[in-house]
Structure 1
Amino acid sequence: MVCRIEQPEQQPEANAPAPAPQRVAYREYGPDGVVAEAPLAAEIALAITYNGLSQAVMMVSPGNLEDFIRGFSITNDIVSDLSEIYDIRLSHFPQACQADVQISSRAFWALKDHRRQMAGTSGCGLCGVEALEQALPQLQILEPSPLPPAEHLQGLRERIEQAQHMARSSGALHAALYFDAQGEVRLCQEDIGRHNALDKLIGALLNAGIDGRQGFTVVTSRCSLELIHKAVRARLGTLVSLSAPTALTVQWANKHHLNLIHVPHRNAPRIYSPI
């Protein structure tokens, strides 16, 4: 089941820059539990269709979207130059945007021919709105889980560095780790892809029969909406990120009762969900 995409909002100026960061409340994880606000980056789901054919859905920052579409079209070899892009029309929805791009007949036939050759591995051919609904799915609400004790987050970055054996030798790797109810590292999975690292960890937890609602899971990468989707589907209790979440990520974590904690470099951990 997928969520319903509402009717388009009032259209902002074409190719407008990103809006100012949204200020989002958090609670410091400390004795005083001070509530404050931090500016967090925005993200939206963007669906791109060419001459009515759905090509891609991705999470992006909501600014300079026409520039992004032009660059995406060139670098993915959909058009050979900008003269083959005739029009870009943006329809804005809550948390999403649909881009209807009109391209030359030559570019469109080449795109369709490429999709036929990749039929076993490429897109589903859904319309743009249907694709957006899949990018913003309806997920099951979790049962609330207790937050991990604050002391379990102390020295977290150093303990992660110790657990990342491959990254210590090669670098360029994301990690997803599971800390048990005693605050000890039980599992560490590494990958060049942040989504892959979390998928590997979730697979290992399931294979080992470990209840992800106990303890907490850490991702070393940016905490984007896709990682929230994965955590909720895997029924994790607490997701800890070393990088700040986006405003949309916080909204979805609170909605689905997923504990979300950011551990900054030099400040106390910040609880964004529950708040």
Structure 2
Amino acid sequence: MTSLPLQHHTVYRTDSDGLHGEQDALAEEAAVALVYNGITHVVLMATPQNLEALALGFSLSEGILTAKSELYDIEVNETCDGIEVHLDIASARFQALKEHRRNMTGRTGCGLCGIDSLAAAKPRLPQAARGRPLTVREIQTALADFDRHQPLRQATGSVHGAAWVQNGSISAAFEDVGRHNALDKLIGHGIREGYDWQQGFALISSRASYEMVAKAAASGIGCIAAVSAPTALAVRLAEQAGMTLIGFARPQKFTVYTHPQYIAE
């Protein structure tokens, strides 16, 4: 088992002269178990870097924790089978997690992580408390700079990125083989650093799916810009949560799907 995010492998490429061997870069994918107070709750397939941020972000965006203060300690341990992230959390949150696990016992999953009913697939998201409007120029400036903050994607072509932008500048960016993991890493880092989620926006390299909007809204992020398209459900969720949702985001142009009043010329 290796915890390096990048590996190299001999591949054979074709050209007019036939096959030629050379070294290629591959993004690592590892099994990462999140263990709460000694009990494994979920195993994620993730890029093995920034795992403490991933664990905290996942815990907050999935409602296992409601505040950073409910996490007392975190430790990353590498095993022969994968990586374990041990989280010591408040007893009240652990009891709620155990109750949720009991409710899940014997039920067939519906395809959404941790969801045990159709009603639960429509989360009640908090209303975003908005700050100043974002300008078109600062959004375009960040988009033009986004590639530079994704070295793993440039090397491998197989990971997603999530970045936090404030005043047009990318202050932090995270990469992962899973788009949800990349966003959770950003959320975890932002919570630890005390980011004001209303004074900027999250930039993601993937589509804006239901899960991405739900995670961002649950964390208090007021605006998310996706390089690819949103889904119809994601647009409805963003509209209800007061979140500005941007899709098809490119340095030259983008499309605003919800709450355009928070975008200034």
Please, which of 144, 149, 152 is the counterpart of residue 166 of structure 1?
A: 152
On the 8 A contact 2:142/2:170 being kept in 1, the answer is no
- Map Cα deviations across residues 20-64 of structure 1 (whole Å, 9 max, x no partner): xxxxxxxxxxxxxxxxxxxxxxxxxxxxxxxxxxxxxxxxxxxxx
Pick the structure with greater CA Rg: 1
On the 8 A contact 1:142/1:235 being kept in 2, the answer is yes
Calculate the TM-score normalised by the size of structure 1: 0.51
> How big is the shift at 1:268?
2.5
Structure 1 match to 2:197? 212
Please, which of 140, 146, 149 is the counterpart of residue 126 of structure 2?
A: 140
Report the count of equivalent residues: 155
Residue 232 (structure 1) aligned with residue 213 (structure 2): no
On the 8 A contact 2:142/2:169 being kept in 1, the answer is no
Higher strand share: 2
Percent identity, please. Answer: 31
Calculate the TM-score normalised by the size of structure 2: 0.53
Hey, what's the Cα distance between the residues in 1 that align with 2:235 and 2:146? 23
Hey, what's the Cα distance between the residues in 1 that align with 2:176 and 2:236? 27
Please, which of 241, 261, 264 is the counterpart of residue 256 of structure 1?
A: 241
Name the aligned partner's letter for residue 198 of structure 1: L
Moved over 6 A (4+): none
Structure 1 match to 2:254? 269
Q: Which secondary structure does the structure 2 equivalent of 1:143 belong to?
A: coil
> How big is the shift at 1:139?
1.8
Structure 2 match to 1:149? 135
Q: Which secondary structure does the structure 1 equivalent of 2:133 belong to?
A: coil
> How big is the shift at 1:212?
1.4
Residue 178 (structure 1) aligned with residue 138 (structure 2): no
Is the alpha carbon distance of 1:136 and 1:126 closer, same or farther for their aligned partners in structure 2, counting shifts above 3 Å? farther
Please, which of 207, 210, 217 is the counterpart of residue 222 of structure 1?
A: 207
Is the alpha carbon distance of 1:193 and 1:130 closer, same or farther for their aligned partners in structure 2, counting shifts above 3 Å? closer
> How big is the shift at 1:263?
3.6
> How big is the shift at 1:157?
3.9
> How big is the shift at 1:155?
4.8
Structure 2 match to 1:198? 183
Hey, what's the Cα distance between the residues in 2 that align with 1:134 and 1:126? 14
Hey, what's the Cα distance between the residues in 1 that align with 2:127 and 2:219? 12
- How large is the Cα RMSD of the aligned pairs? 2.6
On the 8 A contact 1:260/1:273 being kept in 2, the answer is yes
Is the alpha carbon distance of 1:266 and 1:198 closer, same or farther for their aligned partners in structure 2, counting shifts above 3 Å? closer
Q: Which secondary structure does the structure 1 equivalent of 2:146 belong to?
A: helix
Q: Which secondary structure does the structure 2 equivalent of 1:273 belong to?
A: coil
> How big is the shift at 1:152?
0.9
